[in-house]
Amino acid sequence: MEDSERQHVVLFPFMAQGHITPFVALAELLRRRRPTLIVTLVSTPLNIQKIKSSSSPPSLSSIRLRSIPFSPAAHGLPPEAETAAAIPFHQIVTLLHASRSLQPAFEQLIEDITQEDGRPPLCIIADNFFAWSVHVARRFGAFHCIFFTSGAYGTTVYSSLWTHLPHRKTDSDEFPLPEFPDIIIHRSQLPKHLLMADGTDPWSDFLQGQISLSSETDAVIINTIEEVEKTGLRMLRKVLPCPVWPVGPVLSSPSSASAGNDHIMKWLDSQPPASVLYISFGSQNTIAAPQMKELAMGLEASRTRFLWVIRPPVGFDVKGEFKAEWLPEKFEERMRDEGTGALVHGWAPQLEILSHASTGGFLSHCGWNSVLESLSRGVPIVAWPLSGDQLYNAKIMEEELGVCVEVARGNMESSKADRVVVEKVVKEVMHGGQRGKEIRRRVEEVRVLMKEAWRDGPGSSVKGLSELF
Ligand code: UDP
């Protein structure tokens, strides 16, 4: 796409950390790589405030931030729903539907930009949850591009499951994906809302609508790497009629450990190299109380050092006080006295932790940003996927890439976690078992591929971005 006269690009992420982080990183990347572009990032007021307070000013100074009004209360949601954090799972679908109400304000903003610049933006780069923005782009004659913030395989499998609901057509525990019969999905790899979906429920209504609209976009860029996700990209290109350009890894720049986190980094400084298992279930998720106990007991039995970002379990207020009864008796005291484990309540500087020499593994829910952050730092993954595309990210990473071992799956009442399995897998990955060694070797290969993708000249992601601008 070339048009030197019209060079304003508008970025529009869905309002959740896992979407906003890569969009901000993409905005910074665009400004660095194409200094002539004017880059505007649009979100709701609370999210714009959060972006301003969490990003380092020099990198943001070249990006224009614009907010458009959004009222969670008008949709029966609490104010904090605007950031999609700390709201119960059933409210997420209400938020997705509520986000459709942003269209008139977004349209007005594009109108304002058009007035200010004397011409419409060159391109609107929107989230796949905002595929409806293609209508806005068409009205103004702007190029429309969707930025997928999740991986190619996870995105395609998840979209295919929602489009065809194949589990409703069989009683079997395992079934093939209609478009890709070589891919066998197990019923336990379906999140609860997908398992319950019948095509007329609010989840199907929203997701099927946006999936179908995404085929109207002009191009797709995706936060993945051509050489790493060959299978996933082949699949995505088969289902989408437009060009698909991988531009990953698009990662936020590590800020120096922000205020209030010094104690975490100091604790890591005092640990031996590659000895610590970092544990986090992302920005929104948590596990069930019985699973928490199994994880703690498995960790203790494995005699592995760990740094665990912990939140109240499923069914409790995630922002509420953490109760010791959710963990084995005197667990935290024992870990503290022995100096072998640390719990972080709330938020941790993840990229800094993964970049630290003491970190040797990541027990992760396999959100795509976490996956990219871990692999880009050469840190092997112990997978505990919970929902959405996470389940398929874990599947491809274990089956094809060989960079992780799955230890448990899901956080529903019926989802089991077993301390014996936790102990075995953690020991294998962290204490140099045969499989652990192989995983480390593969992770290192993937780390190099990711770095090469952004090498000037031949890098595949450099090429992907230059296809767009
Ligand atoms: N994150 C963080 N500290 C935390 C939890 C999460 O910095 O305590 C960041 C993490 O580095 C990643 C993002 O939040 O960039 C989470 O995105 P991901 O796609 O992994 O999972 P999601 O939160 O969307 O499920």
The pLDDT value recorded for residue 260 is: 74
The pLDDT value recorded for residue 58 is: 53
CA-closest candidate to residue 314, choices 296, 326, 299: 326
Phi, psi of 206 (to 5 degrees): -70, -55
Alpha helix (H) ranges present in 77-201? 89-99, 103-117, 133-140, 152-164, 192-196
The pLDDT value recorded for residue 428 is: 96
Ligand 1 center to 370 CA (angstroms): 6
Stronger pLDDT, 57 or 388, i.e. the higher one? 388
- Ligand 1 atom with minimal separation from the 347 CA: 8
Ligand 1 center to 369 CA (angstroms): 6
Ligand 1 center to 170 CA (angstroms): 35
> Residue 57: which pLDDT band, with cuts at 50, 70 and 90?
low
Ligand 1 center to 116 CA (angstroms): 36
Task: Give me the mean pLDDT over the 232-237 stretch.
Answer: 98
Range with the poorest average pLDDT among 104-108, 316-320, 330-334, 364-368:
316-320
**Which pairs count as long-range contacts for 458-465, CB under 8 Å and 24+ apart, including other chains?**
460/225, 460/226, 460/227, 460/246, 461/225, 461/226, 461/246, 461/247, 461/248, 461/249, 464/221, 464/226, 464/245, 464/246, 464/247, 465/29, 465/30, 465/33, 465/221, 465/245, 465/247
Residue 234, amino acid: R
The pLDDT value recorded for residue 457 is: 82
pLDDT in tens, 264-297: 999 999 999 999 999 999 988 899 999 999 999 9
Range with the poorest average pLDDT among 272-276, 330-334, 411-415, 459-463:
411-415
Task: Give me the mean pLDDT over the 330-359 stretch.
Answer: 94
Q: CB under 6 Å to ligand 1: residues? A: 17-18, 21, 280, 282-285, 309, 347-348, 350-351, 367-370, 373
In whole angstroms, give the CA distance from residue 85 to residue 366: 17
Q: Average pLDDT over the chain, rounded to whole? A: 93
Is pLDDT at 49 greater than 90 in this prediction?
yes
Task: Give me the mean pLDDT over the 418-431 stretch.
Answer: 96
> Residue 1: which pLDDT band, with cuts at 50, 70 and 90?
low
Residue nearest to atom 21 of ligand 1 (CA): 367
Question: What share of the chain has pLDDT > 90, as a percent?
Answer: 85
The pLDDT value recorded for residue 276 is: 98
- Ligand 1 atom with minimal separation from the 388 CA: 25
In whole angstroms, give the CA distance from residue 203 to residue 362: 31
Is pLDDT at 55 greater than 70 in this prediction?
no
The pLDDT value recorded for residue 319 is: 80
Taking residue 273's Cβ as centre, other Cβ atoms within 10 Å add up to 10
Is pLDDT at 6 greater than 70 in this prediction?
no
pLDDT in tens, 427-467: 999 998 899 999 999 999 999 999 999 999 889 999 999 99
Residue nearest to atom 2 of ligand 1 (CA): 350
In whole angstroms, give the CA distance from residue 269 to residue 113: 48
* ipTM of model over 0.95: yes
Is pLDDT at 222 greater than 70 in this prediction?
yes
> Residue 90: which pLDDT band, with cuts at 50, 70 and 90?
confident
The pLDDT value recorded for residue 357 is: 98
- With 0.80 as the threshold, say if the pTM is over it: yes
